[in-house]
Amino acid sequence: MEINKEHITGWLKQLQDSICIALEKADGSGKFLEENWKREEGGGGRSRVMKNGSVIEKGGVMFSAVHGNTPEFLLRENQHSVNDTISTDSKFYATGISIVIHPKNPMVPIIHMNIRYFEMSNGTKWLGGGIDLTPHYIVEEDAKYFHGELKKVCDRHHASYYKKFKDWADNYFFIKHRNETRGIGGIFFDRLNTDENMSFEKNLAFWKEVGETFAPTYCYLINKNKNISFNETQKKWQLLRRGRYVEFNLIYDKGTKFGLETNGRTESILMSLPALAGWEYNEEPAKNSLEEITQGLLKKGISWT
Amino acid sequence: MEINKEHITGWLKQLQDSICIALEKADGSGKFLEENWKREEGGGGRSRVMKNGSVIEKGGVMFSAVHGNTPEFLLRENQHSVNDTISTDSKFYATGISIVIHPKNPMVPIIHMNIRYFEMSNGTKWLGGGIDLTPHYIVEEDAKYFHGELKKVCDRHHASYYKKFKDWADNYFFIKHRNETRGIGGIFFDRLNTDENMSFEKNLAFWKEVGETFAPTYCYLINKNKNISFNETQKKWQLLRRGRYVEFNLIYDKGTKFGLETNGRTESILMSLPALAGWEYNEEPAKNSLEEITQGLLKKGISWT
């Protein structure tokens, strides 16, 4: 069987189903509500959002598959040289799943996953994706577990992948104007096709495994932390961390930019924003507080495994 | 006396003083706290922020005067053609005041003012600025008053200015991905130098009057609305309107972009963000509610005067 976009699209919808089932189970009471939407220029999506669960305050597991004329900014990105002529009749097809979960309890981390497949009518195609974790409070044991799970997936496919994609996540999920990372990172990769002597089919197998590792990894962290008690200071800190999350998503995130620029569905794209976020002018965590420890770990290049 | 950057800078600091005094009086209990900061590459600022006043939940009146090598993106904007060579030893000087006030009471509007002066070592110089209002609930009487005050200032200087700068504000303070304006607009202008047969000195006089009209205009709106009672629904709506404000500032606002790209002081730039903001997936205001009326008025081209 040829692996084509229909196969990949169908597989993503199956994955969306299984992730939603796993998250509902981990939450205990919250349910995902579904909306199907169409994009005027072609394609659409299946958005599933949970509000006010027992664990999940706001979370979305969003599937989309859009197609149409390739936007000019994408064509420019794919020029090999500035003198290449840009094809004006190029078509694109992009499908993927994006997930962001904002938990109620500040002791449960925020998580994000995105896996995406992109092809153009000239035969160009690639895979992209990643999973990264934003703990409101960084706990070494959990960070080791999270990176350990991602490393296992990577190592099963290519010896270079974990290091390469972990560094990529450190660089990508970086809030330049704050000089801090968004969280503890994870893995991030883009334009994966025949890298490192891996065939497209082998990279697809890796990519699928990234998608499949999301639910068990995050549900483990939910179950481990969901019953830890917390106080007002910790809740307030959570709001500030969410504010930084908003800053990253609106200023730097390429998926948000791509979605808004290709006339995607705004409510689905901005589902990633928390129900409530805060900003406090000139806030500094107290000396030797847990908040200060977390702040000190928001940097690139920490080896968690 | 020659009108030079020292004169303009000194005038702006005086204005910052008088605005802070007026806002403290209108608030009744809140006080501005001052921080002086230096920018590594040249210049600095005097930030004044009020937190938890009686009326003002979070507000900043920020003065800055920065200088250094002109950033490349600014040089490119000033190229007359793509073939012009870009001078690599150009210096710039930029000074201005930026104000954003987020009130506690959803019946008091959010306000923003910015006035700025910019010059380059090649002799290029211009004035920019504007005042715009973001009511959580749009009240026709207040909108008329606000635009009327701005129109009076404009009309005293040039017959074309109000219409021109009002349209400019409508187009500038527009949240494209929501297809809505940020609020009811106001006036906005940029690169004012010798427009419409006005000398730089005459435009400077107009620009100063814009700055001077801020405090009486906003204090009138504070005093008129600060004692109106409000309920939980209205407070929740305020959080959502603030969410849109955050979206505009982080995605579209050129001042924010300029500040972050020229290594400005992040805490001063992002002072514009509210203490608390919210996002709700797929929220629609109830039919015939005050919220729906406001939503329907968030569009360009409404004539308030």
| Nearest chain B Cα distance for residue A278, angstroms | 4
Instruction: Give the pLDDT confidence of A186-215 residue by residue, as tens digits.
Output: 999 999 987 777 899 999 999 999 999 999
Range A5-30 average pLDDT: 97
Q: Is B276's Cβ below 8 Å from some Cβ in A?
A: yes
CB-CB under 8 Å, A246 with B267: no
pLDDT value of residue A79: 64
pLDDT band at residue A80, thresholds of 50, 70 and 90? low
Instruction: Give the pLDDT confidence of A234-253 residue by residue, as tens digits.
Output: 999 999 999 999 999 999 99
Whether the pLDDT of residue A82 is over 60: the answer is: no
Instruction: Give the pLDDT confidence of A142-179 residue by residue, as tens digits.
Output: 999 999 999 999 999 999 999 999 999 999 999 999 99
Which domains can be identified in chain A, with CATH numbers?
5-296 (3.40.1500.10)
pLDDT value of residue A75: 79
Q: Is A144's Cβ below 8 Å from some Cβ in B?
A: no
- For the ranges A91-100, A105-114, A257-266, which has the lowest average pLDDT? A257-266
Specify whether the CB–CB gap between A209 and A189 falls below 8 A.
no
pLDDT value of residue B281: 95
| Candidate from B60, B270, B281 with C-beta closest to A51 | B281
Whether the pLDDT of residue A20 is over 60: the answer is: yes
Instruction: Give the pLDDT confidence of B168-181 residue by residue, as tens digits.
Output: 999 999 999 999 99
pLDDT band at residue B75, thresholds of 50, 70 and 90? confident
CB-CB under 8 Å, A267 with B279: no
Whether A177 is catalytic is: no
Specify whether the CB–CB gap between B244 and B26 falls below 8 A.
no
Percent of chain B exceeding pLDDT 90 equals 84
Q: To the nearest whole number, what is the mean pLDDT of chain A?
A: 94
B180-181 and B174-175 beta bridge pairing: antiparallel
Copy the structure tokens of residue A160: 């270079």
Catalytic residue among A67, A80, A102, A112: A112
Which chain B residue's Cα is nearest to A102?
B279
Q: To the nearest whole number, what is the mean pLDDT of chain B?
A: 94
pLDDT value of residue B260: 86
Q: Is A246's Cβ below 8 Å from some Cβ in B?
A: yes
Q: Which residues of A touch B277 (CB under 8 A)?
A: 246, 276-279
Q: Which residues of A touch B270 (CB under 8 A)?
A: 177, 247, 279
Whether the pLDDT of residue B58 is over 60: the answer is: yes
Instruction: Compare A9 and B194 and report the one with higher pLDDT.
Output: A9
List CB contacts of B234: < 8 A, sequence separation 6 or more.
Answer: B106, B107, B136, B137
CB-CB under 8 Å, A275 with B277: no
CB-CB under 8 Å, B281 with A277: no
pLDDT value of residue A25: 98
- Residue B271, number of CB atoms within 10 A of its CB: 23
CB-CB under 8 Å, A239 with B276: yes
Backbone φ/ψ region at B94: left (φ over 0), alpha (ψ -120 to 50), beta: beta
Specify whether the CB–CB gap between A67 and A290 falls below 8 A.
no
B123-151 residues labelled b (16+ CB within 10 A) or e (exposed): eebbbbbbbbbbbbbbbeebbebbbebbb
Instruction: Compare A261 and B183 and report the one with higher pLDDT.
Output: B183
